[in-house]
């Protein structure tokens, strides 16, 4: 059974939940246990998915064992026997339409240090490549803009796939994913007529759900530049598939704190679902029966 691993930014949590909830071919769904995986798993369960959560060390050994294939020597001996070839091919084809998915969700605050973020994306991808048939990076360019990181990713033991828009361009960041591509992102910027703008999704504003948010380091850091009068617009990206019921309230509160005008724009799941489907299809095509 093929294994698709997803290294994802917590900022794209809702998009990933949506994608996985639509895939009826997932046979096994695993989530790497970490500090921010509990909310993600709760969202998956709300969509009637049944994820298994383990620490990375234990999870990788479990997946490796459950997907162990027949030894090459055994396969070669019997591969030319017609009845074995037909039976083996049929079984492998059936398995090929089922999928094991492993999700490693990395925390969004890694963005405070881009070099550290990219090293973490690569480190986790390298670790997961040992048991994967392909890795989908649920990140914009922020996760791997460094040429060194890109070169290192190309040398992994399995193909690496990226989030791309309809023109096959790798998306700039999570806002581009939410809006539907780099070109739409640019058009949305023009709506601001040169005014400074912030682009909000539920996960981008999720910190407002925390108690005493205004006393957190995150709030203090963002206040340093958002207090400038040049930032006067909040583009609220709406999508009926988002999971945070507090989004409207959080957007209103955020706009009030920083004296911003709120502009509603439409979001989409197209980039998330299309990129995931293309990665999965490529893995199926690359399987050796």
The total number of residues written for the chain in this structure: 289
- In the chain, the percentage of residues whose pLDDT exceeds 90 is 67
Which residue ranges make up each domain of the chain?
3-171+271-286, 181-266
The residue written with tokens 């990206």 in the block is 237
pLDDT computed for residue 61 by the predictor: 86
Q: Evaluate if residue 118 carries a pLDDT over 90.
A: yes
Average pLDDT, the chain: 87
Section 32-36 average pLDDT:
91
Q: What is the rounded average pLDDT of the residues 254-273?
A: 95
Asked if the model's pLDDT at residue 247 lies above 90, the reply is: yes
Q: Indicate the pLDDT class of residue 74, thresholds 50, 70 and 90.
A: very low
What pLDDT is recorded for position 28?
A: 93
Predicted confidence at residue 71, as pLDDT, reads 43
Between the two ends of the chain, the Cα-to-Cα distance in Å is: 11
Answer yes or no: are the C-beta atoms of 240 and 268 closer than 8 Å.
no
**Cα maximum dimension of the chain:** 76
C-alpha pair distances (Å), 279 with each of 38, 111, 162: 26, 25, 8
pLDDT band with cut points at 50, 70 and 90 for residue 233: very high
Arithmetic mean of pLDDT, 180-199? 92
What is the mean predicted confidence (pLDDT) over 14-20?
A: 97
What is d(CA 228, CA 220) in angstroms, rounded to the nearest whole number?
14
List, for residues 79-117, the tens digit of each pLDDT value. Answer: 455 554 444 444 445 454 789 999 999 999 888 899 999
| pLDDT value of position 36 | 85
Split at pLDDT 50, 70, 90, the class of 288 is: low
Assigned token pair, 137: 């990076």
What gap in Å lies between CA 179 and CA 239, rounded to an integer? 10
| The predicted structure's pLDDT at residue 88 | 44
Q: In the chain, what percentage of residues exceed pLDDT 70?
A: 89
| Residue 161 burial (C-beta neighbours within 10 Å; 0-12, 13-18, 19+) | buried
CATH, range 3-171+271-286: 3.40.35
pLDDT at 68: 60
180: left (phi over 0), alpha (psi -120 to 50) or beta: left
The CA R_g of the chain, rounded to the nearest whole Å, is: 21
Alpha-helical runs (H) found in the chain: 13-21, 37-46, 56-66, 72-78, 82-96, 114-129, 147-154, 174-179, 182-190, 217-226, 247-257, 270-286
Rounded CA gap, 13 and 35, in Å? Answer: 14
Residue 205 DSSP code: T
What pLDDT is stored for residue 67 in this prediction? 65
pLDDT score for 175: 96
Lowest mean pLDDT among 62-66, 123-127, 195-199: 62-66
Torsion of Cα atoms, 47 then 51 then 56 then 59, to 10°: -160
């Amino acid at each position: 059974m093929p294994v698709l691993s997803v290294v994802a930014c917590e900022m794209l949590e809702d998009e990933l939940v949506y994608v996985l909830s639509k895939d009826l071919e997932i046979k096994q769904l695993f989530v790497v246990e970490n500090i921010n995986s509990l909310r993600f798993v709760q969202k998956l369960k709300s969509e009637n998915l049944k994820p298994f959560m383990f620490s990375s060390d234990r999870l990788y050994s479990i997946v490796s064992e459950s997907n162990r294939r027949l030894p090459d020597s055994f396969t070669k001996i019997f591969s030319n026997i017609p009845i074995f070839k037909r039976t083996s091919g049929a079984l492998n084809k059936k398995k090929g339409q089922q999928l094991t998915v492993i999700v490693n969700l990395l925390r969004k605050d890694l963005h405070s240090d881009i070099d550290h973020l990219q090293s973490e994306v690569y480190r986790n991808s390298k670790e997961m490549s040992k048991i994967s048939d392909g890795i989908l990076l649920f990140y914009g360019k922020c996760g791997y803009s460094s040429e060194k990181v890109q070169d290192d990713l190309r040398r992994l033991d399995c193909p690496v796939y990226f989030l791309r828009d309809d023109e096959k361009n790798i998306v700039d960041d999570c806002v581009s994913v939410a809006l539907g591509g780099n070109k739409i992102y640019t058009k949305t910027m023009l709506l601001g007529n040169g005014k400074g703008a912030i682009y909000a999704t539920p996960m981008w504003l999720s910190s407002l759900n925390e108690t005493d948010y205004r006393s957190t380091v995150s709030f203090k850091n963002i206040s340093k530049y958002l207090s400038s009068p040049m930032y006067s617009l909040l583009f609220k990206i709406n999508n009926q598939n988002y999971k945070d019921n507090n989004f409207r309230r959080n957007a209103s509160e955020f706009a009030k704190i920083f004296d911003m005008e709120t502009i509603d724009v439409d979001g989409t799941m197209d980039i998330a679902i299309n990129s995931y489907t293309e990665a999965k299809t490529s893995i199926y095509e690359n399987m050796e029966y």
